[in-house]
Structure 1
Amino acid sequence: MTSPLERAGLRPRVDKALAAFLADRRVRLLTIDGVLADVADALEEFVLRGGKRLRPAFAYWGYRGAGGVDSDQVVTAVSALELVQASALIHDDLMDRSDTRRGEPSVHRRFAARHAEAGWGGDASGFGDNAAVLLGDLALVWSDELLYSSGVDLADLARARPVFDAMRTEVTVGQYLDVLTQATGDTSLERAGKVARYKSAKYTVERPLLLGAALAGAPESVSAAYSGYGLPLGEAFQLRDDVLGVFGDPAQTGKPAGDDLREGKRTYLVAAAHAALGPAERDELESRLGDPELDDAGVERLRAIIRDCGALARTEERISSLTGQALAALTRTEELDTEARAVLLELADAATRRAV
């Protein structure tokens, strides 16, 4: 069966739009200074290497579902979401001190290594951190440029702009809430849910759908249906990501096993464990969570604690419940294009099972 991301040739079309845009921006950077080839190389490799293109897919099929007509201009417009994603991931890796992304060195590690290899003055790690901040910022700036240079009619872009702006605000403050939650040690399910909603859920599914709806000039009823589908599905997507962050295979995730445990992520999974554990095991979880030196044996021990107390099962049940809510909201809506509805149903399954 064809992947839902391959319908309408979407993934290669998104890749083509991103490659053309980044090639153009490379020329612009090199007119400033030849040393910026390092920046162009890093962003091209980060954006074009892997990535599911899930957010452009939700935006595109949200557009088609609302009656929008396929065009390369619209595909280019929704491809801007991949630059928002790149910005978020570059900054997220820096804040989490992650060594890898998609099996390759994270951007701050890449530039730290570049500093060390060249024998430049100062601290290599600090240089890498500074470079990652700036490259993440540049990707966010370029997301705006790609959207507005897409060739989509200006009236359509004007409708989409408030959605795009709200999405970028939400993901940024959601990231701050995540950092704050780690600092305060808040282990409540309420806080974990809010972080998941704003850090990932809304900008992964709901806002891309609403962006597509806005580009198509959809009525409010369609946008409401998309929110009813997109918000619970986005939260289910993030919960699946949380499970993979603890129990995932590094060969599939591209990150070391148990990285979320070393980073001290206060996810729904951890909050569910905290709520279920007795004092002794809760203290053990708290003492080891966020330890950057946690070894493989320590990861296995925390996995066992989380699994044996029922937190993993509770999280899986939550994923199923949220996915069911999303599917019910979509199937109740009669206004959507038939093909788009079918693809959105497939995307729901793919997003929560990580089959894409």
Structure 2
Amino acid sequence: MSTRLADVTAPPRPRPPAEADFGRVRQEVDAALGEFLDAQARDPADRCLPPLVGVLREFVRGGKRLRPLFCYCGWLAAGGDPSGGPVARAGAALELFHSFALIHDDVMDSSDTRRGRPTVHRQLAARYQGDDEPSAARFGVNAAILLGDLCLAWADEMLLTAGLGEDDLRRASPVLHAMRSEVMAGQYLDLAGEWTEDVLDRSWRALRLKTAGYTVERPLQIGAALAGGTPALLRWCSAYGRPLGEAFQLRDDLLGVFGEPGTTGKSVLDDLREGKQTVLMALTWRRAGPRQRAVIRELHGAPGLDEDGAARLRDVITATGAEDVVGELIEARAREARGALDSAGLPAVARRAFAELVHQAIRRTR
């Protein structure tokens, strides 16, 4: 049964009409990140840290800032001031948490590129003082793990210094803690840490925990909680955010195999070389015949997979109809999110912002 938010949330304080300006929100998040990293470089715990801050500054450049945008929209849904205020810095803290997750994910996946640039562990390996390539690679991985840990610690520091009240932080803390635990569980499942014959079930669970929850649902709830949103509003954030987050990741799975590297900034070989058990590949396996499964066994997860092998795998994915099924799932999840939006008594500015985010999440090309 749909929840009518107009019945369960306190009416927002009267204020002049305003529009959500996503460009401005991104700029404010970028500015908050820049100021924070400048401060870390000016007054470091040790002089070894400023060069790492420089690596991180380059890494965070060019991100889509989806999590801060969803956090801002949750803030709007609870009647928060469209001008934003401290929610931009809270969103920047989420971006640092996202950086932690990406840096560690690239280490675990042995990825070479991220956003069209070398991954952090590759950049740090190139800074190793010596000619021993295995030692340089090991140094890059270990240093990247530490830099990811710093991002996790700094995300807390940024949130605690965002100018939020104690009550705001108390309301948001349970959601923040849940998000962090879910990301770790999702990453473990993504590594096939749980043995199961039902690979499709594990793929769905990893998708929901690792990406859908922490990309859309939880940032929405954090923003709503920071603006004093009721438990009913936070439940609505789940009704809207979960299907949209699933659509976002399903789209990402397609881009990881069929996207344009010049646009996505990531090789279309990485997911296939790693043998990543996405919903797309789990559906392909389930629908494949014996000869097609032989191709998947031979090539999916092959470290030396080349473009010809990837093309053979793409042919199998397309021939089984899995690519089309994932496209249909994306549209179905988007309809579910729009249906939740249609049933909600949101402030007009929030409704328009939420509708725009549905479009951005499922039509994206990177």
In structure 2, give the amino acid aligned to 1:65: A
Q: Deviations over 1:98-146 (max 9, x none)?
A: 0011111101111111115x55897111100101111111101111110
Q: 1:120 to 1:73 in 2, by over 3 A?
A: farther
Partner of 1:262: 273
1:186: Cα distance to partner? 5.3
| Separation in structure 2 between the aligned mates of residue 240 and residue 355 of structure 1, nearest angstrom | 9
Please tell me whether residue 28 in structure 1 is matched to residue 69 in structure 2.
no
Out of 27, 32, 40, the position equivalent to 1:12 is 27
- Which runs of structure 2 are paired with 1:48-59 in the superposition (5 Å)? 49-59=61-71
Query: Is the Cα contact below 8 Å between 1:5 and 1:53 reproduced in 2?
Result: no
Please tell me whether residue 100 in structure 1 is matched to residue 113 in structure 2.
yes
1:87: Cα distance to partner? 0.5
Query: Is the Cα contact below 8 Å between 1:264 and 1:290 reproduced in 2?
Result: yes
Query: Is the Cα contact below 8 Å between 1:186 and 1:266 reproduced in 2?
Result: no
In structure 2, give the amino acid aligned to 1:214: A
Q: 1:5 to 1:100 in 2, by over 3 A?
A: farther
Please tell me whether residue 61 in structure 1 is matched to residue 76 in structure 2.
no
Task: Structure 1 unaligned segments of length 5 or more: list them.
Answer: none
| Separation in structure 2 between the aligned mates of residue 159 and residue 79 of structure 1, nearest angstrom | 18
Query: Is the Cα contact below 8 Å between 1:187 and 1:274 reproduced in 2?
Result: no
**TM-score, length basis structure 2:** 0.91
1:8: Cα distance to partner? 6.7
- Which runs of structure 2 are paired with 1:340-355 in the superposition (5 Å)? 340-354=350-364
In structure 1, give the amino acid aligned to 2:27: P
Which secondary structure does the structure 1 equivalent of 2:191 belong to? helix
Q: 1:138 to 1:257 in 2, by over 3 A?
A: same
1:27: Cα distance to partner? 2.0
1:257: Cα distance to partner? 2.1
Partner of 1:155: 167
Out of 185, 188, 203, the position equivalent to 1:176 is 188
Partner of 1:39: 52
Q: 1:120 to 1:282 in 2, by over 3 A?
A: closer
1:189: Cα distance to partner? 2.0
| Separation in structure 1 between the aligned mates of residue 148 and residue 141 of structure 2, nearest angstrom | 11
Give aligned pairs, total: 347
Partner of 2:4: none
Task: Tell me which stretches of 4 or more aligned residues in structure 1 moved more than 6 Å.
Answer: none
Q: Kindly, what percent of the aligned residue pairs are identical?
A: 48
Which secondary structure does the structure 2 equivalent of 1:180 belong to? coil
Which secondary structure does the structure 2 equivalent of 1:125 belong to? helix
Which secondary structure does the structure 2 equivalent of 1:333 belong to? coil
Please tell me whether residue 300 in structure 1 is matched to residue 327 in structure 2.
no
| Separation in structure 1 between the aligned mates of residue 134 and residue 300 of structure 2, nearest angstrom | 32
Q: Deviations over 1:31-55 (max 9, x none)?
A: x3323222111111112x1100000
| Separation in structure 1 between the aligned mates of residue 333 and residue 76 of structure 2, nearest angstrom | 24
Deviates more, 1:298-307 or 1:283-292: 283-292
Query: Is the Cα contact below 8 Å between 1:210 and 1:223 reproduced in 2?
Result: yes
- Which runs of structure 2 are paired with 1:1-356 in the superposition (5 Å)? 6-7=21-22, 9-29=24-44, 32-47=45-60, 49-69=61-81, 70-115=83-128, 119=131, 123-180=135-192, 184=195, 188-334=199-345, 336-354=346-364
Q: 1:167 to 1:300 in 2, by over 3 A?
A: same
Query: Is the Cα contact below 8 Å between 1:77 and 1:150 reproduced in 2?
Result: yes
In structure 1, give the amino acid aligned to 2:352: A
**TM-score, length basis structure 1:** 0.93
In structure 2, give the amino acid aligned to 1:231: R
Query: Is the Cα contact below 8 Å between 2:183 and 2:214 reproduced in 1?
Result: yes
Q: How big is the alpha-carbon RMSD for the aligned residues of Structure 1 and Structure 2?
A: 1.9
1:254: Cα distance to partner? 0.8
Q: 1:293 to 1:312 in 2, by over 3 A?
A: same
1:28: Cα distance to partner? 2.8
1:97: Cα distance to partner? 0.4
Q: 1:228 to 1:121 in 2, by over 3 A?
A: closer
